[in-house]
Amino acid sequence: MTLLLTRREIIRAKIAANIQIVDTGYETPCHLWVGPDSGAGRGGDYPRMTLDGQTVAVHRVSFTNEHGYIPGKKQLDHKCRTRRCVRDDHLEMVTHKQNQKRRDQARGVVAKRKRRRKAVAK
């Protein structure tokens, strides 16, 4: 008897075939992608895979496969601070502003104070 895999199971298997489980010091071990990535440079080193003929970000596929749709105004934050990690419970849906703030905190960057505008006298 042949068992047919669901689309989710096929995606899980494709991801699992290209990960290495590594303890990076976060709460639980990271699932680091060892396949292709987005290259070096600004915004680089994010995992990439081909799915239905399209090149896609693996961390987004992993999260969507387990938790559902990611709205257009949301991003995924790697709570473990490791870009190559595709473990869905290490990812959290946040706004761009939250993602920047967490990145800066992790890097030890002090937040800039907002300048106040002077009231214009009439």
3-state secondary structure of 61: helix
Residue keyed to tokens 């905190």: 105
The whole-number pLDDT of residue 38 equals 86
Average pLDDT for 71-83: 93
Within 10 Å of residue 59's Cβ, how many Cβ atoms?
24
DSSP state of 75: E
**Of 1-10, 67-76, 108-117, minimum mean pLDDT range:** 108-117
DSSP 8-class letter at 96: H
Domain boundaries, given as residue ranges, for the chain: 7-107
